[in-house]
């Protein structure tokens, strides 16, 4: 089958990430989508060639975005230019030309989404905007599909990575507001106009979209109350901490008896709440449904590859719609049935983790050394070791160890040898350690 042909508008932070993801994971994506996906035509006024891997796979790169939108070969337009104009004109023309659209443009959707969706319905094309809210977190899919059974009561989120990065750095490192903002810009998190981040406009765009999905209301960006973080001082961050709170820049949409609250502002949250511990550029959205209760979605809210992850997911959705059986549009196991692989499941012996070990050993010179040498002979490196105090009149003491990562098979052999020592009492308590670092 012919590859699906994509037209890409914009080769900036997210555009570059999209090229990288689509080319790097091309095979895996095709196994899910049911067709190969090719960026046939891209337009960008300027871009940094060296920062983008996979550029050589693009059929044609020019500087005329309207030429891409009018290219008869193109089936899906990915709009990653941002801003209102010419993004709106390009998206409307793509729809008029019968092309499906995927966009990361939250400003465009929050302000002009009602018009764009009406045109798309009329023309029978799809518009995907997963990347517009909370970067790489699939929050739109979760709210629109996963929580479809619920009466949603409220949504509260940290939905601007730049603002969260600034607040976190100010709190942890005592850095200045301006210094943190400059770093967020250098890392490609911030909007072209960073006041959108720090004054809450970007979060308001995203909250507007979330509120419409949660409560079934038209997009009403102009009704969103917006207050930024630029007036927060280090002393407020410190005083809040002393009171047991963290300051987070939250977007809150809540349904009450009189209507819907739609507001973005700095907020004190008890420090023990999970969302109060979402730091740096990470985003998190809490959604409270009447059936499911509170649910929390966490991940990178900005940046090249995380945002591209959502863009490409939307592209896969569109491609599935025109390649697969309409009754089984999303394959049961995510990949197309004839693309399932026979990659083996590993036995536990082959699995590698670090370990916590606790054993009871005779409190005598040389015992610790013997145990350590067994671990060494099995190729196991010790991260930490502690001998606990013996109980009253006890001849044996608890030894607690952390090891570095090792295959379970090797650890099993080591444990069997340690348990066979006359100086070790009973069996070794073994708990696997996973740092789950990002």
Of residues 113 and 135, the one with the C-beta less far from ligand HSE: 135
Strands 396-403, 259-270: pairing kind = unpaired
206 is catalytic: yes
Which residue in 18, 20, 160, 304 binds ligand HSE (CB under 6 A)? 160
Q: Are the C-beta atoms of 278 and 249 separated by less than 8 Å?
A: no
- Kindly state the smallest distance separating residue 160's Cβ from ligand HSE, in Å: 4
Q: Which is nearer to ligand HSE, 190 or 401 (CB)?
A: 190
Minimum distance between the CB of residue 285 and ligand HSE, rounded to whole angstroms?
12
Between strands 100-103 and 76-79, the pairing is parallel
Kindly state whether residue 306 participates in binding ligand HSE, applying the rule CB under 6 A. Answer: no
Which residue of the set 99, 141, 206, 248 is catalytic?
A: 206
- Choosing from 76, 285, 302, 319, the residue that interacts with ligand HSE (CB under 6 A) is 302
Residues that bind ligand HSE (rule: CB under 6 A) add up to a total of 11
* Cβ proximity of 88 and 62 under 8 Å: no
Helix (H) or strand (E) holding 405: none
Tell the smallest beta-carbon distance from residue 161 to ligand HSE (Å).
4
228 near ligand HSE (CB under 6 A): no
Q: Choose the stretch contacting ligand HSE; rule: CB under 6 A; options: 159-167, 239-247, 326-334, 342-350.
A: 159-167
Instruction: Outline where 151-295 has alpha helix (H).
Output: 161-173, 177-186, 195-198, 201-215, 234-242
Question: In angstroms, rounded to a whole number, what is the distance separating the alpha carbons of residues 242 and 406?
Answer: 42
* Min CB(135)–ligand HSE separation in Å: 5
Residue 265: partners with Cβ closer than 8 Å, 6 or more residues away? 200, 225, 226, 227, 249, 250
Let me know if 337 is exposed, middle or buried by CB neighbors in 10 A (0-12, 13-18, 19+): exposed
Nearer to ligand HSE, 301 or 331 (CB): 301
Q: Applying CB under 6 A, which of residues 202, 314, 317, 408 lies at the interface with ligand HSE?
A: 202
Among 129, 154, 189, 245, binds ligand HSE (CB under 6 A): 189
Q: Using CA atoms of 61, 62, 64, 65 in order, give the dihedral in degrees to the nearest 10.
A: 10
Question: In this complex, which beta carbon is closest to ligand HSE, that of residue 71 or of residue 191?
Answer: 191
Query: Residue 202 and residue 110: Cα distance in Å, rounded?
Result: 10
Is beta strand 76-79 parallel, antiparallel or unpaired with respect to 60-62?
unpaired
How many Cβ atoms are within 10 Å of 35's Cβ, its own excluded? 18
- The CA-atom distances, in angstroms, between 330 and each of 32, 75, 77, 282, 317 are 9, 20, 21, 29, 8
Q: Is 104 or 319 the residue whose CB approaches ligand HSE more closely?
A: 104
Q: Is 162 a binder of ligand HSE (CB under 6 A)? A: yes
Long-range interactions of 412-419: CB distance < 8 A, separation 24+: 412/349, 413/378, 414/374, 414/375, 414/378, 414/380, 415/357, 417/374, 417/378, 418/359, 418/371, 418/374, 418/375, 419/359
Any contact of residue 140 with ligand HSE (CB under 6 A)? no
Residues paired with residue 285 on neighbouring β-strands, in sequence order: 157, 297
Q: Is 138 in the site for ligand HSE (CB under 6 A)?
A: no
When asked if residue 199 is in the footprint of ligand HSE (CB under 6 A), the reply is no
Using CB under 6 A, which of 16, 34, 135, 266 touches ligand HSE? 135
Burial of 102 (0-12, 13-18, 19+ CB in 10 A): buried
Copy the structure tokens of residue 412.
């099993």
Q: Which stretch binds ligand HSE (CB under 6 A): 25-33, 148-156, 189-197, 238-246?
A: 189-197
Nearer to ligand HSE, 123 or 187 (CB): 187
161 binds ligand HSE (CB under 6 A): yes
Binding mask 260-299 for ligand HSE (x = CB under 6 A): ----------------------------------------
Nearer to ligand HSE, 34 or 135 (CB): 135
Q: Does residue 157 interact with ligand HSE by CB under 6 A?
A: no
By CB under 6 A, name the one of 197, 199, 314, 317 that touches ligand HSE.
197
Residue from 10, 12, 17, 301 touching ligand HSE (CB under 6 A): that is 301
Q: Taking the complex as a whole, how short is the minimal distance between the CB of residue 330 and ligand HSE, in angstroms?
A: 26
Interface with ligand HSE by CB under 6 A: which residues?
135, 160-162, 189-191, 197, 202, 301-302
Give the residue numbers annotated as catalytic, written as ranges: 206
């Amino acid at each position: 089958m012919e590859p699906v042909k994509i037209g890409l508008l914009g080769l900036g932070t997210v555009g570059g990430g999209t090229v990288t993801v689509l080319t790097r994971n091309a095979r895996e994506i095709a196994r899910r989508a049911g067709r190969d996906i090719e960026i046939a035509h891209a337009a960008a006024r300027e871009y940094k060639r060296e920062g983008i891997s996979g550029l050589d796979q693009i059929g044609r790169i020019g500087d005329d975005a309207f030429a891409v939108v009018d290219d008869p070969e193109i089936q899906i337009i990915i709009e990653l230019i941002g801003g209102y104009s010419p993004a709106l004109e390009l998206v409307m023309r793509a729809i008029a030309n019968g092309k499906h659209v995927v966009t990361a443009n939250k400003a465009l959707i929050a302000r002009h989404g009602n018009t764009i969706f009406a045109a798309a319905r009329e023309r029978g094309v799809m518009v995907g905007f997963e990347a517009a809210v909370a970067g790489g977190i699939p929050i739109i899919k979760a709210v629109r599909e996963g929580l479809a059974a619920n009466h949603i009561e409220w949504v509260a989120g940290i939905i601007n990575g730049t603002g969260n990065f600034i607040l976190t750095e100010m709190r942890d490192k005592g850095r200045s507001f301006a210094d943190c903002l400059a770093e967020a810009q250098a890392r490609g998190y911030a909007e072209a106009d960073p006041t959108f981040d720090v004054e809450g406009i970007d979060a308001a765009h995203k909250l507007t979209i979330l509120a419409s999905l949660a409560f079934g209301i038209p997009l009403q960006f102009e009704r969103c109350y917006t207050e930024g973080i630029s007036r927060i001082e280090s002393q407020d961050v410190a005083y809040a901490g002393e009171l047991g709170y963290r300051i987070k820049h939250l977007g809150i949409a809540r349904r009450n008896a009189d209507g819907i609250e739609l507001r973005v502002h700095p907020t004190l949250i008890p420090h023990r709440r999970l969302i109060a511990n979402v730091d740096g550029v990470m985003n998190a959205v809490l959604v409270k449904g009447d059936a499911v209760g509170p649910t929390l979605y966490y991940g990178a809210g900005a940046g090249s590859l995380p945002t591209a992850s959502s863009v490409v997911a939307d592209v896969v959705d569109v491609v599935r719609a025109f390649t697969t059986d309409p009754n089984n549009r999303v394959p049961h196991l995510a990949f197309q049935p004839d693309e399932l692989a026979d990659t083996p499941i590993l036995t536990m012996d082959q699995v590698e983790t670090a370990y916590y070990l606790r054993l009871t050993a005779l409190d005598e010179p040389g015992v610790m050394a013997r145990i350590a040498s067994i671990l060494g002979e099995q190729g196991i490196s010790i991260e930490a070791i502690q001998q606990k105090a013996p109980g009253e009149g006890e001849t044996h003491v608890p030894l607690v160890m952390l090891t570095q990562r090792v295959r379970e098979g090797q650890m099993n052999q080591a444990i069997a040898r340690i348990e066979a020592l006359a100086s070790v009492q009973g069996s070794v308590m073994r708990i696997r350690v996973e740092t789950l670092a990002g």
